Amino acid sequence: MFPGPPAVARQIFGYPAGFVNGNMFMGLHQENLVLRLPDGPRAELLGMEGAATVEPTLTVGETPVRAPLSGNRGLRQGASEGQESSLCV
């Protein structure tokens, strides 16, 4: 589910992705959620179990981060406990 305009849902590599002004901000790939985040939230996500940068990347600027959709206690636990976070997943 995407937030609506100006976000647009498209597919990339056969998986759903969200774009704003032609730039991908999130997507799914295999068993991973892929996000383009500013430095603070990006560092927070990279500190969670299973998260890693996407390599190789063809984007200019920040390197996207991938996090497994299943088996990631950090993402699930924070969401279920209503924990304050700068991540919007």
Give the model confidence (pLDDT) of 4-15 as tens digits.
Answer: 789 999 998 899
**Residue 17 near residue 27 (C-beta atoms within 8 A):** yes
**Among the listed ranges 3-12, 38-47, 63-72, which one has the minimum average pLDDT value?**
63-72
Give the number of other Cβ atoms within 10 Å of residue 31's Cβ: 12
- Rounded to an integer, what distance in angstroms lies between the CA atom of residue 72 and that of residue 50? 7
pLDDT at position 7, please?
A: 92
Tell me if the pTM is above 0.85. Answer: no
> Looking at residue 62, what DSSP letter applies?
S
- Rounded to an integer, what distance in angstroms lies between the CA atom of residue 61 and that of residue 65? 12
**Residue 38 near residue 63 (C-beta atoms within 8 A):** no
What pLDDT band is residue 20 in, cutting at 50, 70 and 90?
very high
